[in-house]
Structure 1
Amino acid sequence: MKAFKRGLLIGITLMLILSLIPNLPAQAAGEPVLQVALKNYLGNVKEITLNPEVDYSTNLGDTKLVAKQSYRLTINNGNIVLFRGTSEIGRGTTIDIKPLQGNGPVSINTRPYLGTFRFVIENGNLRPINSIGLEDYLKGVVPAEMPALWNMEALKAQAVTARTYAMGYPNRVIDDTQGYQVYSGYAWHERSTEAVQSTVGQAITYGGKAIGSAALFSSSNGGKTESNFNAWGNAALPYLVIKDDPFDPKTAWNFSIKKQQIDVSKLDLSKANLWWNTVKESEQTAVITNIKNWLKTNGYSGKDIKIAAVPTLSLHAQGSGGRVSKGSITLEFLVKEQEKAVLNRLKLIDVPASRIRAMTGTTIMKSYLVNKIDSSGDSILVSGAGFGHGIGMSQYGAKKAGELGKNYKEILGFYFDKTTVTSVYQVAPVAVVVEPASAPVVTAPVPVEPTPVTEPVMSAPVVVTPVAEADVKDTLAPTIGSVKTTLDSSKQQVNLSFAVNEAAKVSVYVKDPKGAITGFLVKDLQRAAGNQTLTWDVSKVNNGNYSFGIIAVDGSNNRGSALVSYALNKPAPVKVAPKKKDTKAPTIKTVKTSFDTKKNQVKVSFATNETAKVTVQVKDSKGKVLSTLLNNSNKAAGNQAVVWNVSKVNNGKYTIVITAADSSNNKGTASSAYTLNKPKPAPNKMTGKVNVNVLNIRSTASTKGKIVGTVRRNQTVTVLQKTGSWYKIQYGRKTGFVAGQYLSNVK
């Protein structure tokens, strides 16, 4: 969940919001039942496998699903067809199943779930809808939303927040994705389950009513909570206020984008087939990939796109919570059209910051709490704090508060101002025949973002920002200056550089010594203001006096021009002796090995004297290859290092073989013998607590043993081993034996 569905919030008034929150009095009876469409783990499929652990009834007459047997659902002519093996046993436009014993479970494509199901056809795919009691639903939500090994008070706060949020969707189908809350089915973790059970039926209430889907949370608020009014513009809720958060770790983030990604002036756009597959953006980063994906979902679907430049990016209009609400960006990008490349320009001015964040990626620009933007150099640098919208509870903040001794009610009271935690319903237990497998522990909470609304973008080659009627008409022509020419004799080309003071369509032509135009370097190419660079291929051009004509036309059709003379004087070609064939193999030196006992890794370091494709293998005493640490990996000359994971490798003698092949296929090899000698793991120690006033420690495991010391009630001792009904313990630097019945909580 971790974020409100943005489409449901924009423009909603306070009265409408309060009408959506369930009107649950503090002592309402009966556990809510949720309807959850399974999408997150299942995806979009046209066939589903069912494996019930108990018998299930269906809506197909007397047809039942028998425990421990496998079934299959497919789509045929608008119907869902149920198979056992290869035999069809029923069909219908929808299929319902209900456990005949307890609450299940049934596995859907190997993932187990409790409750009843309705299977429907949704956009040509099979979609299961799980009807599940709220408490069992939470046991599948909490371990998916917060690491189960975090402190118990944070887990309880998460459980109550998730329960309250889910109560905001009565009589409505939600799904199991991050758009609501991630629901992992019958994959429970004992600690998360304990948090749910110890807070059963409890919700966050304001004025005696549960706050429902306003119970928001995010990974980190960056040190300051945000209001729903600032985030989405709807009527402010009195319990979602702006305040400094002393518990949040102020998670920092940053990203950068180079302003120029591709120098379009060096490309022949009319012959894109000659260079399209080899020319790439200067940065192959997630930001560039996200921008291209955003363009493809906003007017350029199915198009092959390259980002040429990001000349400007700004984020501004900070609200009272310190978060930006507006942004502007300029994009120049190439679109492949048959054999040509078309240069497009998109300029977004003062659009919602959410659109800029959707373009760059919500896991890149992690929040709207932007601290700094620096665009003074060749790159645009953006930095901020937090992860998610920052409204309601910070998960990392809840963790820290719990570690500092706050209980879950105090945590929730801080993040949801003037609210209380109240028991709103009672739950009757439902028997479950099959115990769940323990859920995996998520490494960290990841804030959930609502799916951004797709916004159309004009697909014309050049996107022009309209000028407001009140603006003064532009009558100034672009200026062209700082013109320089240099000859690169090695590449047989002339480099022409110049600057224009505003965005304009640029044309550059070349005149020969007789004054005739021999061709255009670019023609009507839309360029941003600033320095421009073009190249003129002179490999087949005679020496002589030439001139460059530069024309710039701005958006108001004002025309500026410059004519620059150039004397071409190519030096006579120098004959180059043929290069001798390289026959010398790479050398591999200073092979060293070191063992890291903590990480169970052997580090292998060595040096190569030239660029080469390197392979590193580990062989056992019989010469068999056990592991390939590098496989034909291209490495520059210099020091190299690889790591061999030996956590599952036995002690013994091994050989590390290093091979390096240069560009002439000369191969050099080095071997190094290595003896693996991992230390034996230290034995696990247990502890126990004394449950009698005075406990005698004896020299042997018998009441006849000599008393060598005493320990007292509630004293914790180290247990070394168990001998019959006696424990051998350590007290100080000495050891002795005590009767096992007088120690509790031995583990």
Structure 2
Amino acid sequence: MVIKHDGEIIEAFFSSSNGGMTESNSNVWSSGNPLAYLTIKEDSYDTKTNWAITLDKKQIDLSKKDLSQPDEWWTSVQEKDKAVVPKLKVWLKNNGYAKQDIKIAEIPALTLTGKKTGGRVTKGSIQINFYVRNLVDERGKLLEQKVSLTNVAASKIRGMVGQDVMKSYLVDHSSSNPSRIAIEGSGYGHGVGLSQVGAKNRAEAGQTYQEILGFYYPNTNIEKEYGHAVSEPKRDLVAKAAPNPINLKAKQDHITDEVGIIYSLKEDAVVSLTIKDSKGKVLATPLHDQTLKKGSHSATWNTKAVNNGTYTAEMSAMDRSGNEGSTTMKIKINKDASAPDITDVDTSGNYSTEKANITYIINENANVTVEIKNSKGIVVGTLASRQVTKGRQSVTWDFRNMSTGTFTVTISAKDVRDNRNTVSTKIPIRKTMGIVTASVLHIKEKRSTSTKTVGKLNRDQTITILSQQGEWYKVKKGSQIGYVLIKHVKK
């Protein structure tokens, strides 16, 4: 007897324990395409083989040891951990420190990240601070060695700490404080396909082998395989008639406080959808015994009354023959309660144009108002009050009519959930003013009396001095910008 999918013998992967959640082959082995019979779903019959890693960050206190005299204390000090540290030493000896005597002083960091849809981690980071007995400086003092791996494959981290310690990639909880690292997980092995623990418990609960294989390898058949001589092998169905909803997906809409749930059916069926909290209490029933045609469908769950957390969507489907299939999916509700983040505020003025360019970066779409206030807190300009998209934004302030002084730029943002944030920065305006001393003073296009005249000034008129270049001032009067001789202007 063999198990087939679409006429081909399946890849019947199995592991010791899936920790209560089966895994997709493509999440574990990224080079392969997802197989329809190796899906992610809860396994209530797997008794969740638990594992834990608990480490002191400081393994050896060397603060009172003389690193110039290691022979005096080397053999008398030992690391605190007896499970992970020996395996880390083996790894170090296999990676550049062969046949060396090693003391691991600290493990400042050990993290597991990059969770896939099945909840299993894909990345990890670790830092090891250690000493090698014969690695010293010119004065004979031990040199601290460091190995730091960042965002490497989680399999590499598992190989370093030991597969019998980190039994799977299904991490349930992790924490770190200044002194300790704690990681807890479930399962033993990759979690793809059949769970040996789950299959044993299902058999002891009275399930048939067809039911057990139908759960772990859905959408498959058990067939008698006699070789190429038989043209039509006899087939026994394994849960094939159960119209399991497939491609269950959820998308949260923060604006409407709704979660859209998308799914598809392989055949006409009567469908129900319930939402449960972490204690199994039913919170909502978006679908109840609704008759639907095969194909793609969607349902909506209103989340206004629920708090942030992880919920379970359970969908069941029954076909016309009474065969019933089901699937579950975790939905993480994370209502946006954070205000828009406004960073990298920068102001730069151009005294030739008497305009300042104000730029900033905002991390989400929001309605933004930019105001300019004088030293008394009075608003002297509102530059923008509009909807902006996340990213870098800029506005321009024309300070032509402003006198010298320090002004405050205030940027206020409000997102779609009415979360608000305001940041402020100072912008100094330092105009150098001058008074014309000549009866008539011509503003020249360039620093030469023979160049074109672009404006005319009279005695005692006030002008803005933009810069000094040799015996000339670059000045501005209204819209006129040009050059005048310094001797005809008094600051």
TM (norm. structure 2) is 0.44
Choose between structure 1 and 2: higher helix proportion: 1
Choose between structure 1 and 2: higher strand proportion: 2
TM (norm. structure 1) is 0.29
